[in-house]
A and B are shown apart, each in its own frame.
Chain A
Amino acid sequence: MCTYETTTLTVTGSGKGAQGWFPVSDATVYYDHPVHARPDHTLNIDLRNPARGTDARVAIELDAASARALAEAILGTLERVPAGLLDTSTG
């Protein structure tokens, strides 16, 4: 089924897509039919920069277990980083 389950948020960072590296400004997270992955439904993430065109996009499609593992790895990694390094205002 199409779940339509979608979350959008703004993000700061960079991604590498079909045209090389570009700054990303928007993210869409949704659980729905994939374009390429094999499962019937996947957790999909689009990192986008609409100002640079619709092809300024990094897309991933993960099965639910992989998506959970990735999310836990991201949060776990951030928790282990010394707080002083989590300043997002500088590189």
Chain B
Amino acid sequence: MNEAMRADTVQFTGHGGDPVEAYLAQPLDGPPAGGVVVIHHMPGYDEGTKEITRKFASRGYLAICPNLYFREAPGASPDDAAAAARAGGGVPDDRLVGDIGGAAAFLRAQDGSNGKVGTIGYCSGGRQSFLAACSLDLDAAVDCYGAFVVASPPEGLPLKIGPILHLVKDLRCPLLGLFGGDDQYPSPDEVAELERALTEAGKEFDFRIFDGAGHAFFAVDRASYRPEAAVEGWQMIWDFFGRHLATS
């Protein structure tokens, strides 16, 4: 493998048959590869998330990041799109599932695909990665500090989402959860409650709460970045996807 990759903007068919913009990064050589759907954080389809998408391609995965705010703001800058999406209450869950399902199908249809697809999401995308794993046929899912899986959003917020702990029974693939011990969205208590529910349901999962890290500790362009947690977290992600998405 010479690490050559191609990365560009594509469109796939999302929820309701809608065209959805996405950033696709794929290795140009190597064996058939597993796919990763990268679910962006609440600030949107931004440079940082595209960098993460390329990072997966550099490790031999087909990776796609759907622009979940494309409908609200086609062609808009990521910050304008995120502002519009926030004011509108965020991405409805049914639309999210349809879009991630469309992105996974798009990856599986690529020439270099081995047919396996996982998801990874950050911040609001962490919850959405869990939601997708409970709703779609996926091979692995990573939840990076996703809030409101267990707890309800505070009263009065325009968010259109609610807790989804009841979906634990429907989880269809192994789950890796990476959280910050100083985070309150989700809090360590919420993470513990999710852990209990997964254990009771007999699901395959691995959670890690990093001490000294809060929310968004993977975000290299923010003050929340915690290199020790991020480096170890990335290693856990490579191990996890290596086990579940590698060519069989």
Shortest Cβ gap from A6 to chain B (Å): 5
CB distance from A35 to the nearest CB of B (A): 5
Interface magnitude class on chain B:
35 or more
How far in angstroms is the closest Cβ of chain B from A2?
5
Indicate whether A3 reaches chain B with its CB closer than 8 angstroms. Answer: yes
- Give the distance to chain B from A41, nearest Cβ to Cβ, in Å: 9
Residues in B whose Cβ lies below 8 Å from that of A26: 87
| CB-contact partner of B86 in A28, A38, A39, A55, under 8 A | A28
Say if the beta carbon of A63 comes within 8 Å of chain B. Answer: no
Q: Does A54 contact B (CB under 8 A)?
A: yes
Q: Bits for B146-160, please: 1 = Cβ < 8 Å to A, else 0.
A: 011000011011110
A2 contacts B83, CB within 8 Å?
Answer: no
Tally of A-B Cβ pairs under 8 angstroms: 75
B184 within 8 A of A: yes
Majority DSSP secondary structure for residues of B touching A: loop
Chain A neighbourhood of B86, CB < 8 A: 6, 28, 30, 46
CB neighbours of B76 from chain A (8 A): 53-55
Q: For B42, what are the chain A residues with a Cβ–Cβ distance below 8 Å?
A: 2, 4, 32
Contact among B81, B157, B215 for A6, CB-based, below 8 A: B157
Task: Name which residue of chain A comes closest to B225, CB basis.
Answer: A40
Among residues of B, the one whose C-beta sits closest to the C-beta of A7 is B156
**Partner of A4 from B154, B216, B222, B224 at Cβ < 8 Å:** B154
Q: Is the CB of A1 within 8 A of B216?
A: yes
Interface string of B140-184 (1 = CB under 8 A from A): 000001011000011011110000000000000000000010011
- 0/1 string, A1-17, CB within 8 A of B gives 1: 11111111000000000
Say yes or no: is B51 at the interface (Cβ < 8 Å to chain A): no
A3 to B186, CA, bound (A): 10
> Do B83 and A1 have beta carbons less than 8 Å apart?
no
Residue from A4, A28, A40 within 8 A of B87 (CB atoms): A28
* Least CB separation from B185: chain A residue: A1
Cβ B81 vs Cβ A54 within 8 A = yes
Q: How far is the CB of B128 from chain A (nearest CB, A)?
A: 13
Tell me if B222 and A54 are in contact (CB < 8 A).
no
Given contacts A2-B185, A40-B223, contact A57 B159 (CB under 8 A): no
CB distance from A51 to the nearest CB of B (A): 12
**A48 in contact with B215 (CB, 8 Å):** no
Contacts of A50 in B (CB 8 A): 84, 87
Q: Is the CB of B87 within 8 A of A46?
A: yes
Contact flags B79-103 to A (C-beta < 8 A → 1, else 0): 1110110110000000000000000
B158 touches A57 (CB 8 A): no
> Is there contact, CB below 8 Å, between A33 and B216?
yes
Bound CA–CA A30/B83 (angstroms): 10
Q: List 25 A-B contacts (CB under 8 A).
A: A1-B215, A1-B216, A1-B224, A2-B124, A2-B147, A4-B42, A4-B154, A5-B154, A6-B158, A7-B156, A8-B87, A8-B158, A28-B86, A33-B43, A35-B79, A38-B223, A39-B223, A40-B223, A46-B83, A46-B86, A48-B83, A54-B76, A55-B77, A57-B80, A59-B79
